[in-house]
Amino acid sequence: MVTMQCEKIGEQFSAIVEGSLDAAMKLKVEEHLQSCTSCTSQLAELRKLWSMLDELPELSAPAGLHGDIMRSLDAAMNDARPQGGLIERLKAVFASNPRAVLAGAAAIVLLAIAPMFARNSTEASLSILPSAPTTSDVHYSASAIWLQRQTGQVQVTILAPAGQTGVANVKVDLIQNLPDSVYTSVNSVVTNVIPGQLRVVRLTGANTDDLLHYAIMVSTINRAGKSLQSTTVPILTTAVRPAP
């Protein structure tokens, strides 16, 4: 018969197998096991399962896997050369303090990250452009404003770079900086950008209590959906519209 006590004992099963119970608990468990066949047999099965799990064999990786990884790596290494690694640019965004940046600027500023050639430098520079993108900057100009506390909605305004003639497909990612500097895309949307027109998109999913750990990445994508070039901007927190 399964009793309340059985449930309590069940919580200790892993510790029993590992032998990490303290003396008092061990005594309690042993006492229960002497009178409960259900727990005794479950525990025996768990021990068996445990060793099967530990001995689960490794699958061999497919023959082409290493080549696939190296091809992607080579492509990434080539992409990184002219414009600095993505991670350096992300780091620059998170290292900058959007509030401080805004203090000196009136209303909305358009931000662009200066291209960085020193890939391994831990120092990153952030340049603030007063309004329209310069001709030398291949990246999109974008500004991101936090709109809504409840939904964590961020509004992103994108402007095509000078030199873009036709309509371009861009991907807008809401990026979160996790501990250990792992960056992850929380949410993304694909849209198009027409020269001379502002494109506004909205993304949800930011934790509004922790906005300094978020940024917006705007990337050009080719027909295959691959990101070609990207601009990363912090989220400007002064244009906040708190929930009513």
Which part of the chain contacts Zn ion (CB under 5 A), choosing from 36-44, 73-81, 106-114, 207-215? Answer: 36-44
Q: Is 29 in the site for Zn ion (CB under 5 A)?
A: no
Rounded CA-CA distance 189/153 in Å is 13
Closest CB to another protein among residues 136, 209: 209
In whole angstroms, how close is the CB of 34 to Zn ion at the nearest point?
Answer: 10
- Choosing from 39, 88, 110, 137, the residue that interacts with another protein (CB under 8 A) is 88
Instruction: Decide which of another protein, Zn ion, none touches 36; Cβ closer than 5 to 8 Å per partner kind.
Output: Zn ion
Closest CB to another protein among residues 27, 73: 73
| Whether the Cβ atoms of residue 174 and residue 205 lie closer than 8 Å to each other | yes
Number of C-beta neighbours around residue 136 at 10 A: 9
For 182, the 3-state DSSP assignment is: strand
Helices 37-54/4-11 angle, 10° precision: 20
Q: Is 209 in the site for another protein (CB under 8 A)?
A: no
Q: What binding mask, one character per residue, do residues 177-206 give for another protein by CB under 8 A, x or -?
A: -xxxxxxxx---------------------
Q: Is 70 in the site for another protein (CB under 8 A)?
A: yes
For strand 141-148 and strand 227-236, is the pairing parallel, antiparallel, or unpaired? parallel
Angle at 241 between CA 239 and CA 244, to 5 degrees: 165
For 198, the 3-state DSSP assignment is: strand
Which residues sit at the interface with Zn ion, rule CB under 5 A? Answer: 6, 36, 39
